[in-house]
Amino acid sequence: MPVKKKFKAFIIENEKKHGVKDIDLNFLMEGNVLVKVSYSSFNYKDGLAIVKKVPIIKKFPMIPGVDFSGKVISSSHKKFKKGDKVILNGWGVGEKHFGGFSQYARVNGDWLTHLPKNLNEKNSMIIGSAGYTAALCVLELNKKVNPKDGKVIVTGASGGVGSIAVNLLSELGYHVVALSNKQKKFLFSLGAKEVLNRSEFKTNLKPLGKQKWDGCIDTVGGDILASIISEIKYDGMVVATGLAKSHLLNTTVYPFILRNITLSGVDCVYASSVKRRKAWTLIEKKLNFKKLKLIKSEKNINDINELSKKILEGNIKGRTLISLKKL
Ligand SMILES: NC(=O)c1ccc[n+]([C@@H]2O[C@H](COP(=O)([O-])OP(=O)(O)OC[C@H]3O[C@@H](n4cnc5c(N)ncnc54)[C@H](OP(=O)(O)O)[C@@H]3O)[C@@H](O)[C@H]2O)c1
């Protein structure tokens, strides 16, 4: 595969200017593996990086895109050789090292993972960082909450993390309650047993509310997370991974010291390779791949501006694949 002299990338030049540009390999940052990128995906953090820039972007210029899949073109890293299919999620890519919204990426091989054997380049990025984060959350929740225990609520349920979490939990046998502003039919088809409309969700402001949920995977933060913490049953667990509503959390110690509940945080960016392997194995074994067509929409780097606004408004359903193939 000859490397193109000029190729396309979405570049954030500075706090005010961004867009698609033709670049060459000399523009890329240092790294010991060069990858021809096939797909990236559009994640909430990419929207934040493009609209708000700082603090997500640590230096300019930057190519956003926190994940990608593709084929190795050249490598001096011992684990990778020309032709290997690889994926990358996190490690500061798209924040401080050029990311996946580019037809070529040069990265540190330590950040790459061989494409799991039951996945292809396309579906690995339909799942993408959001789906892999959902798997990390499910593994965390499973440490304390079993499928037979009772109800698990997923917030931001129609979003990237939420939709994959709903499906994984339901495939594992959990009774999933989806909290969402979107169509109920979509969430039922992913495996939710109940759908709560966000407009009907009553925020509990007391330190301890009625015990409703055995567990929760939360992607939104703010008063929704605070309220759910006060409603978790004795011995239950909340896994917090997002801030689509707010980064603030106003709570008390009562649910923790009187109901023995756990609030556990999940970060996907610097997760250990052991955790990553477990998360992708869970996805390979349990995700219902037939459902991916329900949650997928396909775009390219010319659509990034519009996608950025939509994701911050909470108007993206499921996962958005970014194709770098034909531009
Ligand atoms: N910690 C990590 O490593 C990590 C990794 C990946 C993602 N995240 C975070 O997880 C969050 C979700 O990411 P994502 O990729 O799933 O984003 P997404 O696809 O945009 O989904 C977020 C969902 O949250 C809901 N939502 C949006 N605005 C809201 C509001 N004001 N109030 C209540 N709900 C709201 C919407 O779902 P409904 O309409 O269905 O309610 C929306 O679809 C983001 O904050 C992201 O930064 C963190």
Q: C-alpha angle 49/22/160, rounded to 5°?
A: 35
- Secondary structure of residue 148 in the 3-state scheme: coil
pLDDT in tens, 262-276: 999 999 999 999 999
Q: Which amino acid is at 320?
A: T
Whether residues 84 and 157 share a domain: the answer is no
Whether 94 is in the pocket of ligand 1, judged by its Cβ within 6 Å, is: no
In a domain, 284, yes or no: no
Mutate to test the pocket of ligand 1, among 44, 188, 268, 299 (most ligand atoms within 8 A of CB): 44
Distance of CA 221 to the CA centre of its chain: 15
**8 A C-beta contact, residue 88 and residue 109:** no
Q: Looking at residue 1, what is its pLDDT?
A: 65
Could you tell me if 143 and 72 lie in one domain?
A: no
Q: Is residue 124 part of a domain?
A: no
26 in any annotated domain: yes
| Whether pLDDT at 15 is above 70 | yes
275 belongs to a structural domain: no
Confidence band for 205, pLDDT divided at 50, 70 and 90: confident
Q: Is the CB of 314 under 6 A from ligand 1?
A: yes
Q: Is residue 282 part of a domain?
A: no
Query: What pLDDT, in 10s, does the model give residues 130-186?
Result: 999 999 999 999 999 999 999 999 999 999 999 999 999 999 999 999 999 988 999
Identify whether 2 is preceded by a cis peptide bond (ω within 30 of 0).
no
Q: How far apart are CA 218 and CA 244, in angstroms?
A: 10
Q: Which two tokens stand for residue 162?
A: 């939420």
The CATH number given to whatever domain includes residue 236 is 3.40.50.720
The residue nearest atom 27 of ligand 1, judged by CA position, is: 314
Q: Whose CA is nearest to atom 29 of ligand 1?
A: 245
* Residues 201 and 305 occupy one common structural domain: no
**Ligand 1: which of 41, 219, 225 to mutate, most ligand atoms within 8 Å of CB?**
219
Quick one: 75 and 154 in the same domain? no
Which domain covers residue 90, as residue numbers? 7-115+295-323
Looking at ligand 1, which atom is closest to the CA of residue 313?
28
Nearest residue to 162 via CA among 44, 310, 39, 285: 44
Same domain, 91 and 196: no
pLDDT digits (tens, 9 = 90+) for 232-253: 999 999 999 999 999 999 999 9
Q: What is d(CA 231, CA 32) in angstroms, rounded to the nearest whole number? A: 49
- Rg for the chain (alpha carbons), in Å? 20
Contact 145, 239 (CB under 8 A): no
Residue 129 CB–ligand 1 contact under 6 Å: yes
Q: Which ligand 1 atom is nearest residue 161's CA? A: 16
Domain boundary among 221, 245, 265: 265
Do 190 and 223 lie in one domain? The reply is yes
The tens digit of pLDDT for each residue in 60-119 reads: 999 999 999 999 999 999 999 999 999 999 999 999 999 999 999 999 999 999 999 899
- How far away, in angstroms, is 89 Cα from ligand 1 center? 17
Calculate how far, in angstroms, residue 44's C-alpha sits from the geometric centre of ligand 1: 7
H/E element holding 166? helix 160-171
Is the beta carbon of 269 within 6 A of some atom in ligand 1? yes
Q: Specify whether the CB–CB gap between 213 and 153 falls below 8 A.
A: yes
Q: Is 101 in the pocket of ligand 1 (CB under 6 A)?
A: no
Do residue 136 and residue 255 come from a single domain? yes
Q: From the CB of 160, is ligand 1 less than 6 Å away?
A: yes
> Average pLDDT, stretch 214-241?
98
Q: In this predicted model, what pLDDT tens digit does every residue of 23-51 receive, in sequence order?
A: 999 999 999 999 999 999 999 999 999 99
Query: 243: Cβ below 6 Å to ligand 1?
Result: yes
User: Do 168 and 256 share a domain, yes or no?
Assistant: yes
What is the secondary structure of 233-251 as a DSSP string? EEEEEEEE---SSBS----
41 with 322: CB under 8 angstroms?
A: yes
Are 33 and 149 found together in one domain?
no
Domain count for the chain, please give it: 2
Same domain, 245 and 134: yes
Cβ contact 49:56 at 8 Å: yes
Q: What's the gap in Å between 81 CA and the centre of ligand 1?
A: 36
Query: Are residues 87 and 186 both part of a single domain?
Result: no
pTM tops 0.85, yes or no: yes
Q: Is 2's pLDDT higher than 80? A: no
Position 32 in a domain = yes
Considering the domain boundaries, does residue 120 fall inside one? no
User: Which mutation among 126, 158, 220 tests ligand 1's pocket best, with the greatest number of atoms within 8 A of CB?
Assistant: 220
